[in-house]
Structure 1
């Protein structure tokens, strides 16, 4: 019993109550965000849309998501984290309910784009609020728990979505709206505003007048975003190119489902043990090792022709993803000036919709022309990213040290 308590203290001890309310809101939000998983099926089976038209509507959701990410970052720094989270959740709940009762495809497409905006807005605000309230020494644990909650919520969402979709598409959308509304209630009742409007980083550190363009022209930060983009491209292989490769190897869809389920199960079962494992090492070293593992895992698919090798490779790249999550999020938070935290988060989050476009678009061409050698290209990208993290580690650490020193000066003046 003492060993279990010591493990829990090492994993989640010392985190403030506000963090746990944010964590709960994120978990409920993700567990309830399942309607969009079946949007294409809903459009083709219940609304008579062609597959190409259904793809355009789902694409509208993705475009809205990219815009919502930037909007959420700007609003979270201007309005505040709590106000942005509440506005986004309430808007998403209302739009999802409207989507449930819409019949015309043009209206559904417009609503899907707006839902994409509302679903993406909370991301930068959630992370900025976590950075606001969690002491620096415990942020790695906090981000690890955030990643775990996200994956646990998505696992629950996948299970619920299948059951509800078979029962009623109307129930699918309405339960999704209800879960989003529940998350809004948790935030409204338990999460205070965390934005410190007194936090100002001297222009000498930023080198320019602060704003969204600061993040878009910050070379140290953009180098990190670029490396994260490569990591996201690797991660997207599992949902875009790998199913095609498995089909070419004569494997059934159930085999693909088993590989994906194994990755999710490993994250849910093992993610809480990661912080203690990586704590003694530099973040750049951990990211280099984790990205290298992902490169090895995907590179192994060059010789994979049966389910056992696919499962073994999935274990390797999933371990890489698990190790990468805490330092990746913490570096992103550390590089952001206090008054621009959410804006920096929004630019960082753009890597994922960008990767979701690049991975299938270029990956499909690569697989078609290179065949199994496509996975050598993917592995090579991963090794380049690993080397990049080692090279960029020093400049990142110097930038973080400068930002921390600048943040301490106003505190000393106020004392």
Structure 2
């Protein structure tokens, strides 16, 4: 592809999106630029504090448990109270709890505050995703979600490299920087992002529609199939932040080594996510999801053979390609399956799959590394990736060929969404 073609593709990718989206995008970017804690939490506990891999896994699991609780609560809040209030409460609470985590020393206190951090930080995800679906036109949503995902990984690439060096200087500095950046996100939302909620449950019922409850979402078999497959693939992807740093630390690599290896993930997504999205957006989602699951599982499986930072980085390249394919494909499917007046709850349940994975994956990785060794963990990742691919195959076989179009027309509102 020529330079002119790349420039034209870039212009087409960023044009036509509303101003509110770009402020929300900016908030996402600022948040991820300061996301140090998730990157070096395992190293902080094992190398900085001298705890075992099992304890580090337990703390990470409690962080994930907080996310499980807030996934559903954040989705309900986004529908009932509004997207903007939910974002403000979640981001302010995250800033306070992350700062506190840097000062606590008692093992029980660390575990308790980690739970609060997970609960506060994850509460904003359903609101962000629902707000983007509200303010962006249906035909632009996949592109908008890809751009938001791109911002997440641009920030992650920078913060990953910085986190390793900051950790060698001061872990506390990393906690305080993340708290400050998260507070800056709340300020951006407060000043620039308007409310976008289409209407309350009472208004929907008054207008003759069916109000969406959590039970409604859980009874949606097709949607819950997507959630189940998402959980399997999320368990694998979580190992990049949990199993990989612990395994590298056990093998004698430094925090900076891990930071450089995992930064490949963010750099590759920043460089290739937009062209990859343009390449896959009109292709069969079933095949794409199967390929993404296999790349993820066997990409982590290859980590068993890594003995240098360069080889670790190569394995990151493999599973990152799976991530780039999976994210926009699966997100587009979820949005199409979500009714307009229940987007918060649907996004909350979808987020739950990643939150439960964040709970299960650390427990799995810590126990396996301590008892069997890292090689077993990477073999299990290959097996789980294969199971995810089979799940996607079964799920997509059950969907009609024209399901994306049918669902989109079923879930779109008849009128444009205005601000509250």
Instruction: Give TM-score, length-normalised by structure 2.
Output: 0.81
* 1:37-52 superposed matches below 5 A: 37-38=39-40
Cα shift readout 1:52-76 (whole Å, capped 9, x = no counterpart): 7776655543332221222211100
The whole-number CA distance in structure 2 between the counterparts of 1:374 and 1:45 is 20
Distance change (3 Å), C-alpha of 1:364 and 1:68: closer
Counterpart of 1:137 in 2: which secondary structure?
helix
Q: Is the 8 A contact 1:151 1:267 kept in 2?
A: yes
CA RMSD between the two structures: 3.7
The structure with the larger Rg is: 1
Distance change (3 Å), C-alpha of 1:224 and 1:59: closer
C-alpha displacement at 1:191, in angstroms? 1.0
Cα shift readout 1:324-380 (whole Å, capped 9, x = no counterpart): 111111112221111211111121112223223433444566675698576555334
Counterpart of 1:350 in 2: which secondary structure?
helix
The whole-number CA distance in structure 2 between the counterparts of 1:385 and 1:229 is 9
Distance change (3 Å), C-alpha of 1:163 and 1:339: same
- Partner residue of 1:157? 159
Q: Is the 8 A contact 1:11 1:273 kept in 2?
A: no
Select 1:390's aligned residue among 372, 377, 393. Answer: 393
Counterpart of 1:385 in 2: which secondary structure?
helix
* 1:146-295 superposed matches below 5 A: 146-165=148-167, 171-197=173-199, 210-242=212-244, 252-253=253-254, 257-295=259-297
C-alpha displacement at 1:287, in angstroms? 1.3
Cα shift readout 1:244-272 (whole Å, capped 9, x = no counterpart): 76689x67457655542333321222222
Instruction: Give TM-score, length-normalised by structure 1.
Output: 0.82
Contiguous gaps of at least 5 residues in structure 2: none
Match status 1:74 vs 2:76: yes
Cα shift readout 1:283-335 (whole Å, capped 9, x = no counterpart): 22221222232244344456x36446554433222111111111111112221
Match status 1:31 vs 2:38: no
Distance change (3 Å), C-alpha of 1:82 and 1:394: farther
Cα shift readout 1:171-204 (whole Å, capped 9, x = no counterpart): 44443222122111211121111110179889xx
C-alpha displacement at 1:385, in angstroms? 2.3
- Partner residue of 2:329? 327
- Partner residue of 2:120? 118
Distance change (3 Å), C-alpha of 1:209 and 1:94: same
Contiguous gaps of at least 5 residues in structure 1: none
Distance change (3 Å), C-alpha of 1:96 and 1:357: closer
Distance change (3 Å), C-alpha of 1:90 and 1:290: same
Q: Is the 8 A contact 1:201 1:338 kept in 2?
A: no
The whole-number CA distance in structure 2 between the counterparts of 1:18 and 1:410 is 21
Select 1:132's aligned residue among 121, 134, 143. Answer: 134
C-alpha displacement at 1:108, in angstroms? 5.6
C-alpha displacement at 1:226, in angstroms? 0.9
C-alpha displacement at 1:239, in angstroms? 3.9
Q: Is the 8 A contact 2:63 2:359 kept in 1?
A: no
The whole-number CA distance in structure 2 between the counterparts of 1:44 and 1:300 is 24
- Partner residue of 1:141? 143
Distance change (3 Å), C-alpha of 1:239 and 1:184: closer
Point out which structure has higher relative CO (alpha carbons under 8 A, 6+ apart).
Answer: 2
C-alpha displacement at 1:280, in angstroms? 2.5
Counterpart of 1:128 in 2: which secondary structure?
helix
Q: Is the 8 A contact 1:10 1:276 kept in 2?
A: no
Counterpart of 2:127 in 1: which secondary structure?
helix
The whole-number CA distance in structure 2 between the counterparts of 1:364 and 1:165 is 21
Q: Which moved more, 1:362-371 or 1:183-192?
A: 362-371
Q: Is the 8 A contact 1:201 1:337 kept in 2?
A: no
Counterpart of 2:295 in 1: which secondary structure?
helix
Q: Is the 8 A contact 1:251 1:306 kept in 2?
A: no
The whole-number CA distance in structure 2 between the counterparts of 1:50 and 1:312 is 29
The whole-number CA distance in structure 1 between the counterparts of 2:357 and 2:183 is 30
C-alpha displacement at 1:126, in angstroms? 0.5
Q: Is the 8 A contact 1:144 1:274 kept in 2?
A: no
